């Protein structure tokens, strides 16, 4: 494939301003430069609502898209050519005129425990564990109902420090973020996908573009990892099918090994009192359809549980 931009062309790459977001964007720029050595990338930091307010609970802030809306607006208005996201931060339906131009090869999709007091099952009763995710809260309540849960926001280094130095006893954080920052030594435990189902898209970076920007879309074909993209799309199909957003108590993870795909889904009621977790195997091309079927079954099962309480 030849050069998509002229030799003196500049690609405006939008990103959040956190250390983790900048690290992720650096990786995207490195990959772009490997394929297009003459391409100039201008990284532009866009402040998002979620970054400006690191104290208020995500549920109070409004949750859906608070780490993406301003980047999406900058794309729509033409201020940037592409935006780098953690896919798990995106709403299930993107704004009109925008699409994911590439999904990069996924890193570790699991959640991890950060603690000086041991693994999740070893924490003393009454210990305080921090997270701002309703999915993680629901899963913690299922596995360790005897723990206290505290809302935990802030940059990843702040969250790790609060879990290792206090006031918290532990925290649950995405493994991929810890790995990208080079802080794997702080991890106490990797939580299994079957018991602690990740958020849809967790561990994957997505590049959002305008759907009419054909030059950038052609360029991003070089960065897209088809198998990861197929899995992430199935996870997001599950998210859409249950009517959830990026802060809903919903988990989904798909993987492909050879000609067998595995999809694990998790759905909890809004009050977090009822939960379904299921895993199915299918052909890779069936993933999206099976995600819809799984979602429909879980919605029906939870509805029956609530009715028969």
pLDDT tens-digit readout, 119-146: 999 999 999 999 999 999 999 999 999 9
The answer to whether the bond into 167 is cis (omega within 30° of 0) is yes
Residues 6+ apart with CB under 8 A from 20: 155, 156, 177, 180, 181
Q: Is the pLDDT of residue 50 over 80?
A: no
Q: What is the CB neighbour count within 10 angstroms for residue 266? A: 27
When mean pLDDT is compared across 170-184, 202-216, 233-247, the lowest value belongs to 233-247
Strand order in the sheet with 111-115: 148-150, 128-130, 170-174, 111-115, 189-190
The encoded tokens of residue 67 equal: 């780490």
What does R_g of the chain's alpha carbons equal in angstroms? Answer: 20
pLDDT for res 7:
39
141: three-class secondary structure by DSSP: helix
90-102 pLDDT, tens digit each:
999 999 999 999 9
- Specify whether the CB–CB gap between 223 and 245 falls below 8 A: no
**How far is it, in rounded angstroms, from Cα 267 to Cα 200?**
11
Per-residue pLDDT band at 59 (split at 50, 70, 90):
low
Q: Is the pLDDT of residue 2 over 60?
A: no
- Specify whether the CB–CB gap between 24 and 84 falls below 8 A: yes
pLDDT for res 66:
83
Torsion of CA 228, 229, 234, 238, to 10 degrees: 100
Torsion of CA 49, 248, 250, 166, to 10 degrees: 60
**How far is it, in rounded angstroms, from Cα 33 to Cα 286?**
35
Q: What is the CB neighbour count within 10 angstroms for residue 158? A: 12
272-285 pLDDT, tens digit each:
999 999 999 999 99
> To the nearest whole percent, how much of the chain has pLDDT over 70?
91
Structural domains in the chain, CATH included, are 10-104+204-225 (3.40.190.10), 111-190 (3.40.190.10), 236-303 (3.30.160.40)
Per-residue pLDDT band at 183 (split at 50, 70, 90):
very high
Q: What is the CB neighbour count within 10 angstroms for residue 69? A: 17
Task: Calculate the alpha carbon distances from 158 to 128, 153, 164 in Å.
Answer: 16, 8, 10
The encoded tokens of residue 100 equal: 């994911």
- Specify whether the CB–CB gap between 46 and 37 falls below 8 A: no
89 is annotated as an active-site residue: yes
Give the rounded distance of the alpha carbon of 131 from its chain centre.
Answer: 14
Mean pLDDT of all residues in 197-211: 98
pLDDT for res 133:
93
This prediction has a pTM of 0.92
Nearest to 281 by CA among 304, 303, 301, 256: 256
pLDDT for res 60:
57
Of 38, 53, 89, 212, the catalytic one is 89
């Amino acid at each position: 494939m030849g050069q998509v931009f002229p030799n003196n062309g500049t690609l405006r790459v939008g990103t959040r301003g956190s250390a983790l977001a900048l690290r992720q964007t650096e990786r995207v720029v490195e990959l772009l430069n490997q394929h297009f050595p003459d391409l100039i990338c201008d990284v532009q930091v866009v402040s998002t609502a979620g970054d400006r307010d690191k104290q208020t609970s995500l549920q109070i802030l409004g949750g859906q898209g608070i780490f993406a809306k301003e980047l999406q607006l900058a794309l729509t208005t033409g201020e940037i050519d592409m935006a780098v996201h953690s896919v798990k931060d995106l709403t299930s339906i993107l704004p009109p005129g925008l699409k994911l131009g590439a999904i990069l090869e996924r890193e570790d999709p699991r959640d991890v425990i950060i603690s000086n007091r041991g693994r999740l099952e070893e924490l003393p009763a009454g210990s305080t564990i921090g997270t701002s995710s309703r999915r993680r809260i629901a899963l913690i309540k299922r596995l360790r109902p005897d723990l206290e849960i505290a809302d935990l926001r802030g940059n990843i280094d702040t969250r790790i420090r609060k879990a290792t130095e206090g006031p918290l006893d532990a925290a649950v954080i995405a493994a991929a973020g810890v790995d990208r920052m080079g802080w794997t030594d702080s991890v106490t435990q990797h939580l299994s996908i079957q018991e602690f189902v990740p958020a849809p898209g967790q561990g994957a970076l997505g590049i959002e573009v305008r759907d009419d920007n054909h030059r950038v879309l052609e360029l991003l074909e070089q960065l897209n990892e088809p198998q990861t993209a197929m899995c992430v799309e199935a996870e997001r199909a599950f998210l859409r099918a249950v009517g959830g957003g990026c802060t809903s108590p919903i988990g989904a993870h798909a993987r492909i090994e050879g000609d067998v795909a595995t999809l694990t889904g998790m759905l909890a009621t809004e009050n977090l009192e009822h939960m379904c977790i299921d895993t199915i195997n299918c052909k890779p091309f069936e993933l999206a359809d099976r995600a819809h079927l799984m979602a429909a079954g879980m919605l029906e099962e939870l509805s029956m549980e609530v009715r028969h309480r």
